[in-house]
Amino acid sequence: MFDKFKKNEGEMVEEKREENSVIEKEVETVIESTSQIGIGELMGKRAKLEDAIDYVGLMIKNLKEKRTLLEKDIEEESVDIKNLKEKLQKVSEYIDEENKGIEELAYKRKQVETEADEASQIINNLREKLSGVDKIIEEEGSRIKKVKESRDTIEG
């Protein structure tokens, strides 16, 4: 970015030098004709001062242009950084939402596990009851067999 200013400044300085040499030749001509009373030297100094003022003016103009470009670059960077901060804020909010969702899922999973444990406990209780019923049925079946057998032996 600054290279183009250096290039432009170099071109302007070269143009200024060419103008200065033309002006110096004109001043020398004027000096020769007016040097008799000493005004020629004064005019030469004034011309050099005007050239210096013009050169300083160009430098100021270049500095203003550079500053304007820098301000523009800074403003663009500022906008980019603000956009980036907004995106990061959205990402942060998304992460917070996901963490909440994970916490809710963990809570629901724990509830399901509790219900599964309760169901398992009910199944175990029912197995025990069924085992008890099965034992009673077996015992009653054995008694009935014994009663039948004793009847058959009595009848026969």
Q: Are 50 and 19 in contact (CB under 8 A)?
A: no
- pTM tops 0.85, yes or no: no
How far apart CA 85 and CA 93 sit, in angstroms, is 12
**Domain layout of the chain by residue ranges:** 2-155
- Confidence (pLDDT) at 86: 97
φ, ψ for residue 38, nearest 5 deg: 85, 0
- Confidence (pLDDT) at 5: 47
Q: Are 23 and 51 in contact (CB under 8 A)?
A: yes
How far apart CA 141 and CA 135 sit, in angstroms, is 10
- Confidence (pLDDT) at 57: 93
pLDDT of 88 strictly over 90: yes
